[in-house]
Amino acid sequence: MDRTEIDSPEHPVLAEIAGIERDIQMLREMDELSGQRLRQSENAPTPPGRPIPPKRRIWPLLSLSLNMLFIAGGLSVFLMLGGVNWLQAKLTKVDRKAGYATNRESFFECSPVSEGDIVVVGDSQLDFVEWHELLGNQVRNRAVNGAVLAEIESRLSEIVDSHPRCIILNGGINDFQGGSDVDEVKQRYVSMLSMLTEKKIDLILVPCFPINSRIYHEQIVRTHPRIHPPEQSEVGALADVVREVKASSSIVHVVDIGPFLDENGELAEEYTFDGLHINGRAAMMLANQIDGYLKAIPVSSAESVATSAE
């Protein structure tokens, strides 16, 4: 290649070198500007002609680089979690209990109670048990996790019109966990039981199980710090109502929960997994008691007709 061609200012190699020199000069000017700003912020002006120490030159660039990495990392994590959709889900309060209850209600609508059915109604202390496996296929479980007495009573008003053979019932523990006044809960409980006895429906009552304080605090309060642990006196107040109703009505049967309690009157550790709900072993014991009461309750006229037809 001719030397004159290389020395020509329009040659691409020289043009590239000139561009690199301009970039280097620009970086030097930026570095000098950063150094000046750093000196101003530290109130430590550098005398004219004195070179900026290398450490002072690198700190602004290092700070900028770390900030950029932090922003890029945060953005990457945000996008990995789902971006805007994830943020909306976090900001939107989802009531999982309400969602569960809605799903249960939709199932109840598709599978209505029939005449002669044995119907379980209450809260999670009965909802979590597979009653059809323990008592037979004619048992319909209409208990709902998280239900309070007002919701249970509303559900009962629809069930009684189907003329069930009997109703297995509990409730009240969630009212106490929500901090409701004990007298208010008792009044609601009495109203609910009065409605059922007036309808002449055989009733098997399962009193509220007193919580196991140690396990309850470890398993439930730890993850739900705002919950109100039901006190024995509160649960005992409902037990008094149950005894009064049983004494005044021959169609009310009450499960004896004594065998499920420890020496302190709490739900025994061997019968619970979280201090509030019964486990499989306790469910078997409870089902045996209920089955004994069911054998003493006569079948409905509809069942009698169906049996004679067979």
Distances (CA, A) of 211 to 138, 190, 296: 30, 22, 30
Predicted local confidence at residue 19, as pLDDT: 61
49 Cβ contact list (under 8 Å, min separation 6) = none
180 Cβ contact list (under 8 Å, min separation 6) = 148
User: Three-state SS for 202?
Assistant: strand
Predicted local confidence at residue 235, as pLDDT: 93
pLDDT tens, position by position, for the chain (310 residues)? Answer: 444 444 455 555 555 556 666 766 665 666 666 666 655 555 555 555 555 555 555 666 667 777 777 787 777 776 776 666 655 555 554 454 567 778 888 888 888 899 999 999 999 999 999 999 999 878 999 999 999 999 999 999 889 999 999 999 999 999 999 999 999 999 999 999 999 999 999 999 999 999 999 999 999 998 888 899 999 999 999 999 999 888 888 899 999 999 999 999 999 999 999 999 999 999 999 999 999 999 988 875 444 434 433 4
CB 150 within 8 A of CB 104: no
- Check: CATH 3.40.50.1110 for 96-309? yes
Q: What is the C-alpha to C-alpha distance for residues 300 and 217, in angstroms, rounded to an integer?
A: 44
Predicted local confidence at residue 37, as pLDDT: 61
Q: What is the C-alpha to C-alpha distance for residues 31 and 25, in angstroms, rounded to an integer?
A: 10
CA-closest candidate to residue 121, choices 95, 134, 139: 139
CB 235 within 8 A of CB 264: no
128, exposed or middle or buried, with CB in 10 Å at 0-12, 13-18, 19+? middle
Q: What is the C-alpha to C-alpha distance for residues 277 and 256, in angstroms, rounded to an integer?
A: 16
**How many alpha carbons lie under 13 Å from residue 263 in its C-beta half-sphere?**
0
Q: Which residue has the tokens 């959709």?
A: 85
Summarised one tens digit per residue, pLDDT across range 12-66 is 555 555 666 676 666 566 666 666 665 555 555 555 555 555 555 566 666 777 7
DSSP assigned state of 272: B
Domains of the chain, by residue range, sit at 3-89, 96-309
Distances (CA, A) of 51 to 44, 45, 47, 200: 13, 12, 9, 101
Q: What is the C-alpha to C-alpha distance for residues 64 and 66, in angstroms, rounded to an integer?
A: 6
